Structure 1
Amino acid sequence: MDICVVLPEECISRIISFTSPRDACRSSVVSPTFKSAVESDAVWEKFLPSDYQQIISSSSSTTTTLVSLSKKDLYFHLCDNPLLIDNGTLSFSLNKASGKKCYMVGARRLSIVWGEAPQYWTWTDQRSLPESRFAEVAELNFVWWLDVIGRLETKTLSSKINYAAYLVFKFANSRHGFESRPMELSVHLEGSESEARNKRVVLDPPRNSLPRPYQRRGNGWMEIEMGEFFNEHGDDGIVVCSLFDFHGGDVKCGLIVEGIELRPKI
C-alpha cells in the first residue's frame, strides 16, 4: 500500500523530521508527495539547533535576509556560509550531513604568548588576506618557543558528539623552524590536563614527505587535526586546544594562524 495515500503530508513531514538531513534529502526523490513533505519548515526546524535564533541574533553581520529564508534554505545557508558572532571573533556553521554545530575560534580570540608584541607577531587584516573569514589573522615574525591556545565552552557545542579540533593555518613565503622540529598539539577538557594525549607533528615537512600531516581546505588555508574529545553532556566545562613548542633553540617564523575549528568527527 502506498504510504502517501494512507498518511497526509503533514504526518510524513513529522516522520521525516525524526531522521537526519541526509535521509530527508534522500527521501525527497521517493515521490512528489515526499518531496513536498521534505520542503516543510516543520522538518528543517527540527534539524536546526534549538538555539539557532539566539545564535543568529548575536551575529555581527546582517541577519535580515536570514530571517526571511525558509527553514531549509536557512539550514543550508548556515552549512555553506559561516556566521560571524561575538564581535567577529568566533564563527558558527552547521555540519551539512548531521546539522551539528561547528565553531571556529578566530585568531583574535586565541591566547597567543607575545601576541600583542609587534616584534614577535603581526596582525594582518582582511585586505591582505581576503580569503580569511575573520577581520584579522596572526602572522608570526619570530619566536624561540611557541604557545597558542584556544578555549571554548562545551555548552555551545552539540552534545553526545565526538568532536575534533583543527588548527587552520598557512605559511608565508618566507618561513623557518617548522620543517624539522615537531610541534606539540593537544586537546583536552580544562582541569584534565593529565589525561591529554599530545600529538607531535612536523607542520612543514619536505615536499616529498608522505603522508602530509595536513589537509588543504580549498580556500587557500590548510588544517591539521589537533586531537578529539567526546562532548558527553554539553556542560562538561571548557575544551582547551593548544599548539606549543617549549624546547626553544630554533627560531620560528612565517606561520599564519586563522583560528582553531571544532567540528563533529563523523
Structure 2
Amino acid sequence: MLPEDCLATVLSFTSPENAFRSSLVSSTFRSAIDSDMVWERFLPRDYPEIVLSLVTPLKFSSKKELFQRLCDPVLIDGGNKIFKLEKSSGKKSYILSAKELSITWSSNPLYWSWISMAESRFSRVAVLRTTDWLEIRGNIRTQMLTPNSTYGAYLIMKISDRAYGLDSMSSEITVEVGNQQVSCSSVVLEHHQESKKQMEMWKSSEGIVSEREDGWMEIELGQFFTGENDEEVKMSLMEVKGCHLKGGLVIEGIEVRPKN
C-alpha cells in the first residue's frame, strides 16, 4: 500500500530488468515504473551529452522511452561511433569505427582501401590490400563506460574470398588499462571457403573468435574491469613474427561491451 512516488523510489534502486518485470505485478507498479525518477537513475549520467551527439535525433516523451530507444544501436560523434545501452542492466557499450582506430599505413592506398559496405553501419570500412606489417590499435577511456563493471573488447572483421597470407603467422592480441597489461593471447586467422568464411583461432589464453548476429566475425581481444578511476584502455591486434605479405582482411571497428 505504499504511495506511488515511494514505490517509484524503491524501484529506482533495482535494475531496468526488475523494473520491467514489476509492471506485471499490478496497475500501481505499472504506473510507478513510468516515473521519470526511476529511469533517470537507470540512464547513464552523461546521457544528455550522448543525446546531443546523436547523428539522427531521437523523439521521446519520457525518460523510460529514451532508455528504450538507447537500447537499440545509435550512431554518435559524426557517425564514427555506435552507442548502446544493455536493456537488462543499463550498462553502456560502444563500437569504435575503423576510422577511430590506429591502423598502420591505413592512409596509404597501396596498402589499405576505404570502402562502403551495405553490411556495415558505418560509412566506410578498412580493407587490407597488401602489407607485411599488421597492426591495429584502439583506445577508450573508462569514464565513458559503466563504473565497476567487467567489459570485453572485440575486433569486428571479415575475411574476403581472396584473402591470402593471414594464416601464415600468429598475431598478438592485448588489452591494457593504464600502464598495466591485463590480457594477452595469440590468434591465427584461417579462411575456409568450404565453410562460409569461417575463422579458426589458435589461442594461448582466453581469446575467442565467433560469428556475430549481424553477419560479421569478432575476435575477443581481452577483458578488463572499469573500476572507479578514469584510465585509458588500449586494445590491439599486432603480428609479432615474420614479414610476409597478406591481404583480404576487412575491419569494421572495435566493440567494447559489458560481459555477463
**Aligned Cα root-mean-square deviation (Å):** 2.0
CA–CA distance in structure 2, aligned partners of residues 32 and 196 of structure 1: 48
1:245 matched to 2:257? The reply is: no
One-letter amino acid of the counterpart of residue 141, structure 1: R
Secondary structure, counterpart of 2:78 in structure 1: coil
CA drift of 1:26 comes to 1.4
One-letter amino acid of the counterpart of residue 132, structure 2: W
1:71 matched to 2:85? The reply is: no
Closer, same or farther in 2 for the Cα pair 1:160/1:209, shift >3 Å?
closer
Question: Which residue of structure 2 lines up, in the alignment, with residue 215 of structure 1?
Answer: 210
Given the alignment, which residue of 89, 95, 98 partners 1:98?
Answer: 89
Secondary structure, counterpart of 2:215 in structure 1: coil
Secondary structure, counterpart of 1:251 in structure 2: coil
Closer, same or farther in 2 for the Cα pair 1:46/1:177, shift >3 Å?
same
Question: Which residue of structure 1 lines up, in the alignment, with residue 32 of structure 2?
Answer: 37
Contact 1:180–1:205 (8 Å) recurs in 2: no
One-letter amino acid of the counterpart of residue 8, structure 1: P
Write the deviation string for residues 193-242 of structure 1: whole angstroms up to 9, x where unpaired.
Answer: xx34311122336559878942222212111211011111141x210000
CA drift of 1:246 comes to 3.0
CA–CA distance in structure 2, aligned partners of residues 141 and 12 of structure 1: 59
CA drift of 1:191 comes to 2.4
Closer, same or farther in 2 for the Cα pair 1:211/1:123, shift >3 Å?
closer
Question: Which residue of structure 2 lines up, in the alignment, with residue 112 of structure 1?
Answer: 103
1:136 matched to 2:124? The reply is: yes
CA–CA distance in structure 2, aligned partners of residues 105 and 158 of structure 1: 16
Secondary structure, counterpart of 2:79 in structure 1: coil
Closer, same or farther in 2 for the Cα pair 1:157/1:130, shift >3 Å?
same
Closer, same or farther in 2 for the Cα pair 1:91/1:172, shift >3 Å?
same
Closer, same or farther in 2 for the Cα pair 1:258/1:211, shift >3 Å?
closer
Closer, same or farther in 2 for the Cα pair 1:209/1:220, shift >3 Å?
closer
1:56 matched to 2:46? The reply is: no
Structure 1 portions without partners, runs of 5+: 1-5
Closer, same or farther in 2 for the Cα pair 1:48/1:177, shift >3 Å?
same
Given the alignment, which residue of 201, 222, 227 partners 1:227?
Answer: 222
1:189 matched to 2:183? The reply is: no
CA–CA distance in structure 1, aligned partners of residues 139 and 56 of structure 2: 26
Contact 1:145–1:247 (8 Å) recurs in 2: no
1:178 matched to 2:169? The reply is: no
Write the deviation string for residues 82-122 of structure 1: whole angstroms up to 9, x where unpaired.
Answer: 22222222221111211111111110010010000101000
CA–CA distance in structure 1, aligned partners of residues 78 and 40 of structure 2: 26
Question: Which residue of structure 2 lines up, in the alignment, with residue 255 of structure 1?
Answer: 249
Contact 2:190–2:199 (8 Å) recurs in 1: no
1:145 matched to 2:145? The reply is: no
Write the deviation string for residues 159-192 of structure 1: whole angstroms up to 9, x where unpaired.
Answer: 1111110111112221122335322111112422
Structure 2 portions without partners, runs of 5+: 203-207
Identity %: 44
Contact 2:43–2:90 (8 Å) recurs in 1: yes
Secondary structure, counterpart of 1:226 in structure 2: strand
Contact 1:111–1:149 (8 Å) recurs in 2: yes
Segments of 4+ moved more than 4 angstroms: 205-213
Write the deviation string for residues 240-259 of structure 1: whole angstroms up to 9, x where unpaired.
Answer: 00011032333221111111
CA–CA distance in structure 2, aligned partners of residues 89 and 44 of structure 1: 27
Write the deviation string for residues 128-152 of structure 1: whole angstroms up to 9, x where unpaired.
Answer: x122121111011011120000011
How many residue pairs get matched?
A: 251
